[in-house]
Chain A
Amino acid sequence: MDARRALRGWGGTSPSVATVHPAGDDADLVRLVTEAGRRGVLARGLGRSYGDAAQNGGGVVVDMTSRDRVLSVDTGTALVEVEAGVSLDQLMRLMLPLGLFVPVSPGTRQVTVGGAVAADIHGKNHHVDGSFGDHVVTMDLLCSDGEIRTLTPESELFWATVGGMGLTGLVLRATLRMKKVESAYCLVDTERCTNLDDLLARMTEGDHRYTYSVAWIDCLASGSSLGRSVLTRGWPATLEQLPPKLRDHALEFRPKQVAVAPPVFPSGMLNRATVAAFNEVWFRKAPRERRGEVQSIAAFFHPLDAVSRWNRIYGPKGFLQYQFVVPFGAEDTLRRCIEMLSDAGQASFLAVLKRFGAQGAGHLSFPTPGWTLALDIPLGAPILGGLLDRLDAEVIAAGGREYLAKDSRLSASEIAPMYPRLEQWRGIRKAADPDGVFTSDLARRLGL
């Protein structure tokens, strides 16, 4: 049943009201698209983009989560065909027992395959494996003319759709090349880094030896501790690397939900004092150096998934995530950005730093070689808008960009300098969807 209701992003800011249509079969969606009104149509998955990417005020939003079937699995080639509403959580639960792991995993399992394509998501293995789109073999796209086209990486529309934020059509199905693994565990090395120089040096020197690498930075540390961090890197564990008692159930994957955050937290609970205390404890509890620890996939990749609806701890004012990438060589910009955040005392639990590898082929794909920093910031401080505008200017001056799936506040004029292939993408989109049937609040805000 269609229902008009308010939709928000994960950050809980700037809602808009749309007609939410639970996705039926292909014929139902073809009808929906060909009969679209002036405010257009947009697919939505699990709503994990932080801003307004999965909102379409006044228009139709197709809830794709009802299309959640796995259509075929080939353990020999590791190819899996799924409907777009299948979540990565579902894929892991079903496929890990068969020895197949998702090729790219973000910080949460609660994203759909359609959303993963639209945002061309990345994980801790970008420096060696690229982004999600690099592992899509084919996909079925419902276009504005009502045709369902099977796209392969040879077509331009494929790469306009990978990272295209849902603005080229509805992704209905995709075939993914999974990663073969022997266990549902990782071998993890953990190191404490005293400051930013220490961290960058270790990552530059050693990341290529690991499949997965990520650093958690304390953005409230300043002075000689600026950028103090915990670096965790690892590989998928092979059977023989596991302790004997785990070997019998090496591929078992049963992540537990520890708690559900209730909607009772006031805004402002995460302030400079509470976050600084948290960051201190978390830094101290990390080992100075530990090698070869066996961690489950859930613990290593998705620690926050243990608490459902954790976004509620930011209270009713919500929060935003700021994620940018600056090219290698722009380490000064990275440092300046962390200094600006540290000076402003804009509390962020655990900023995340990663090194991106090669540029993907998606026109609007976010990853580009360089350093990417992501941090959650509670809303409320009047200085926040100006601070982030200044950070934008630093990022643009260094030839960097920000991640559209996280964005909730960029202005239209900032997009062209960040995404040099925007005009090309617009051309492909215009050809595929001349009347602009597929649109979103994000697209309108940024004039995409």
Chain B
Amino acid sequence: MKDAIGNVQRIVVLGGTSDIALATVMKLTEQRRDVQVTLAARPGERRTAATAELESLGLQVDEVDFDAADRSSYEKAVTLAFEAGGDVDVVMVAFGLLGDQERAWRNVDMALDLVQVNYAAAVACGVLVGERLRAQGHGAIVAMSSVAGERPRKSNFVYGSTKAGLDSFYTGLGDALAADGIQVMVVRPGFVRSKMTEGLKAAPLSQTPEQVADVIVAGLRAGRRTVWAPPAMRWVMSALRHLPHPVFSRLPI
């Protein structure tokens, strides 16, 4: 149970190797490390490394097999994650696939991969996790959306469309779960220098996973429903959203 100060006792990360999620776990447990963290991700080196890193801080970590691309893994993963300990204070929905935009919009399989991982799996997890949190009467969900979902751009609209779907779903889920005492917070980061964007040219206002984590932790403690990272992105995107299309389509973004 989250305490009066905002310290948590249990965190579940779906997409447990995400740089932003790991940075958030570290930030959220900065004051107290007697926290149980469940990392749900594909088995492998990255998950092992993430576990080792969190354990070295004194956190109690356990692993659950989860593959967002594998429809048959969702129920089992969420069940195992929730039953690995007591009440869960925060669930992070942090898996995602950036994909190759140029190929994705011309290749059915690649486009559907993005849809499956970024949207369908996220919706499924939202349904499953929402039911679990409802039963305990408290808790929070952090859903990783993206500014790419705010207005489609030629350079990444397949990815952007999946994030737009996720964003809508979790925004609505927040309304549906409010009466049950559940906070759902949609996070809209701009460009983050992480392993997801390795090799890409950094966009303006680019940031580190730690900076996004700061925004997430502050938002959780303040009970926010939507946060932008960096916070200024909110106003940038608001402006971009309202640009006339002829202008918008000429922007080098």
> When chains A and B are docked, how far (Å) is the Cα of A303 from the Cα of B31?
36
Asked if A389 CB lies within 8 Å of chain B CBs, one says: yes
Asked if B34 CB lies within 8 Å of chain A CBs, one says: yes
Asked if B87 CB lies within 8 Å of chain A CBs, one says: yes
Q: Which A residues between 12 and 47 are near B, CB-CB below 8 angstroms?
A: 13-18, 39
Q: Across the interface, do B135 and A39 meet the contact criterion of CB distance under 8 Å?
A: yes
Asked if B239 CB lies within 8 Å of chain A CBs, one says: no
Asked if A58 CB lies within 8 Å of chain B CBs, one says: yes
Asked if B83 CB lies within 8 Å of chain A CBs, one says: no
> When chains A and B are docked, how far (Å) is the Cα of A446 from the Cα of B21?
26
Query: Nearest A residue to B136 by beta-carbon distance?
Result: A58
**Binary contact track A414-448/B, C-beta < 8 Å → 1, others 0:** 00000000000000000000000000010011010
Question: What is the interface size of chain B, counting residues whose CB is below 8 A from a CB of the partner?
Answer: 21
Other-chain contact of A17, B1, B31, B87, B137 (Cβ < 8 Å): B137
Q: Across the interface, do A17 and B5 meet the contact criterion of CB distance under 8 Å?
A: no
Q: Across the interface, do A318 and B3 meet the contact criterion of CB distance under 8 Å?
A: no
Q: Across the interface, do B32 and A411 meet the contact criterion of CB distance under 8 Å?
A: yes
Q: Which B residues between 119 and 150 are near A, CB-CB below 8 angstroms?
A: 134-138
Asked if A188 CB lies within 8 Å of chain B CBs, one says: no
Asked if B179 CB lies within 8 Å of chain A CBs, one says: yes
Please, could you name 29 A-B residue pairs with CB atoms under 8 Å apart, sorted by A?
Answer: A4-B180, A6-B181, A11-B4, A14-B1, A15-B138, A16-B138, A16-B181, A17-B138, A17-B180, A51-B4, A57-B138, A57-B181, A58-B134, A58-B136, A320-B5, A379-B4, A386-B31, A389-B31, A408-B3, A408-B4, A409-B3, A410-B3, A411-B3, A412-B34, A413-B34, A441-B138, A444-B87, A445-B9, A447-B86
> When chains A and B are docked, how far (Å) is the Cα of A153 from the Cα of B111?
72
Query: Nearest B residue to A410 by beta-carbon distance?
Result: B3
Q: Across the interface, do B5 and A59 meet the contact criterion of CB distance under 8 Å?
A: no
Q: Across the interface, do B136 and A384 meet the contact criterion of CB distance under 8 Å?
A: no
Q: Across the interface, do A57 and B1 meet the contact criterion of CB distance under 8 Å?
A: yes
Asked if A148 CB lies within 8 Å of chain B CBs, one says: no
Q: Which B residues between 197 and 214 are near A, CB-CB below 8 angstroms?
A: none
Which B residues are within 8 Å of any A CB, using their own CB? 1-7, 9, 31-32, 34, 86-87, 134-138, 179-181
Q: A14-B4, A412-B34 are in contact. List 10 more A-B contacts (CB 8 A).
A: A13-B4, A14-B3, A16-B137, A39-B136, A51-B4, A318-B4, A409-B4, A409-B5, A411-B32, A441-B138
Q: Across the interface, do B5 and A388 meet the contact criterion of CB distance under 8 Å?
A: yes
- B180 CB to nearest chain A CB (Å): 5
Please name all residues of chain A whose beta carbon is closer than 8 Å to the beta carbon of B5 when the two chains form the complex. Answer: 320, 379, 384-385, 388, 409
Given contacts A389-B31, A411-B32, contact A320 B4 (CB under 8 A): yes
Query: Nearest A residue to B223 by beta-carbon distance?
Result: A316
The binding surface of chain B is classed by DSSP as loop
- A172 CB to nearest chain B CB (Å): 25
Q: Across the interface, do B34 and A411 meet the contact criterion of CB distance under 8 Å?
A: yes
Given contacts A4-B179, A318-B4, A444-B87, contact A58 B34 (CB under 8 A): no
Asked if A140 CB lies within 8 Å of chain B CBs, one says: no
> When chains A and B are docked, how far (Å) is the Cα of A388 from the Cα of B5?
10
Q: Across the interface, do B7 and A409 meet the contact criterion of CB distance under 8 Å?
A: yes
- A323 CB to nearest chain B CB (Å): 14
Please name all residues of chain B whose beta carbon is closer than 8 Å to the beta carbon of A52 when the two chains form the complex. Answer: 1
> When chains A and B are docked, how far (Å) is the Cα of A409 from the Cα of B9?
11
Q: Across the interface, do B2 and A59 meet the contact criterion of CB distance under 8 Å?
A: no
> When chains A and B are docked, how far (Å) is the Cα of A25 from the Cα of B222?
41
Query: Nearest A residue to B35 by beta-carbon distance?
Result: A411
> When chains A and B are docked, how far (Å) is the Cα of A410 from the Cα of B4?
9
Q: Across the interface, do B1 and A445 meet the contact criterion of CB distance under 8 Å?
A: yes
Please name all residues of chain A whose beta carbon is closer than 8 Å to the beta carbon of B134 when the two chains form the complex. Answer: 58
Query: Nearest B residue to A384 by beta-carbon distance?
Result: B5
Other-chain contact of A441, B1, B179, B180 (Cβ < 8 Å): B1
Q: Across the interface, do B86 and A14 meet the contact criterion of CB distance under 8 Å?
A: no
> When chains A and B are docked, how far (Å) is the Cα of A59 from the Cα of B9?
19
Please name all residues of chain A whose beta carbon is closer than 8 Å to the beta carbon of B9 when the two chains form the complex. Answer: 411-412, 445
Please name all residues of chain A whose beta carbon is closer than 8 Å to the beta carbon of B4 when the two chains form the complex. Answer: 11, 13-14, 51, 318, 320, 379, 408-409
